[in-house]
Structure 1
Amino acid sequence: MADPSWTEGVPNETAAWGSLEADFQYSLFTVIYSVVFMLGLIENALALYLLSCRVKHTSHSYVFMINLALVDTLFVCVLPFKIHYHLKQNNWIFGDVACRVTGTLYYINIYLSIAFFTCICVDRYIAVLHPFRYIRIRAFHYVLVVAVLWAVALSVTVPLILGGPLHNSGARNTTACFENFATSSWTYRMAPYNILALVFGFVIPFSIILISYPLIAKRISQIKRSIRKRKALSTICIILVICTLCFLPYHLTHLLHFLMRIQVIQNEALTSLIYKMRRVTLALVSLNCCLNPLLYYFTSSSKRCYLNCKLRFRSKRVYTICDQKFEECSYVYKLQQRHGNKKQRGGINGSA
Structure 2
Amino acid sequence: MVNITENATEECTINHNIHQTLSPVVYIFVFIIGLPANCLSLYYGYLQIKAKNELGIYLCNLTVADLLYIFSLPFWLQYVLQHDNWTYDELLCKICGILLYENIYISVGFLCCISIDRYLAVVHPFQFQQFRTMKAAVIVSIIIWTKEIMTCCFVFRHREISTDADSHVVCFEHYPIKEWEHNVNYYRFSAGFLFPFFLLAFSYCGILRVVHKSHGTQKKKKIQIKRLVSSTVLIFLVCFGPYHILLVIRSLLENNCSFAEKIFNIYHVSLLLTTFNCVADPVLYCFSSESIYQNFAKMRDSCLTYLGCPRTEMKESYPLNAPETQQATARATTRVITNIT
Q: Which bin holds the TM-score, normalised by the shorter protein?
A: 0.7 to 0.9
Change beyond 3 A, Cα 1:235–1:64? farther
3-state SS of 1:133 partner: coil
Change beyond 3 A, Cα 1:147–1:118? same
Distance in 2 separating the partners of 1:54 and 1:191? 41
Which of 209, 225, 235 in structure 2 is aligned with 1:242? 235
Q: CA deviation at 1:76?
A: 0.2
- Is 1:289–2:284 an aligned residue pair? no
Structure 2 runs not aligned, ≥5 long: 1-7, 300-341
3-state SS of 1:176 partner: strand
Task: Report which stretch shifted further, 201-210 or 290-299.
Answer: 290-299
* Alignment-derived partner of residue 201 in structure 1: 192
- Structure showing greater radius of gyration is 1
Deviations, residues 40-90 of structure 1 (Å, cap 9, x unaligned): 111101211232145753742221111001100010001000001000110
Deviations, residues 267-291 of structure 1 (Å, cap 9, x unaligned): x5x6544322101111111000011
| Structure 1 segments of 4+ aligned residues over 6 angstroms from their partners | none
Work out whether residues 112 and 200 of structure 2, in 8 Å CA contact, stay in contact via their aligned partners in 1.
Answer: yes
Q: CA deviation at 1:180?
A: 2.2
Structure 1 runs not aligned, ≥5 long: 1-12, 311-352
Distance in 1 separating the partners of 2:128 and 2:295? 27
Distance in 1 separating the partners of 2:59 and 2:147? 18
Work out whether residues 69 and 100 of structure 2, in 8 Å CA contact, stay in contact via their aligned partners in 1.
Answer: yes
* Alignment-derived partner of residue 23 in structure 1: 17
Query: What is the TM-score of this pair, normalised by structure 1?
Result: 0.74
1:1-352 mapped onto 2 (5 Å cutoff): 15=10, 19-54=13-48, 57=51, 59-136=53-130, 137-169=132-164, 171-180=165-174, 185-186=178-179, 189-223=180-214, 224-226=216-218, 229-262=222-255, 272-297=261-286, 302-303=291-292, 306=295
Task: Report which stretch shifted further, 140-149 or 288-297.
Answer: 288-297
Distance in 1 separating the partners of 2:80 and 2:13? 19
Q: CA deviation at 1:208?
A: 1.2
3-state SS of 2:17 partner: coil
Distance in 1 separating the partners of 2:100 and 2:51? 30
Distance in 2 separating the partners of 1:163 and 1:89? 24
Distance in 1 separating the partners of 2:64 and 2:290? 18
Work out whether residues 246 and 287 of structure 1, in 8 Å CA contact, stay in contact via their aligned partners in 2.
Answer: yes
Change beyond 3 A, Cα 1:192–1:181? same
Q: CA deviation at 1:26?
A: 2.1
Distance in 1 separating the partners of 2:158 and 2:87? 18
Distance in 2 separating the partners of 1:272 and 1:191? 18
Alignment-mate amino acid for residue 164 of structure 1: R
Matched positions, count: 288
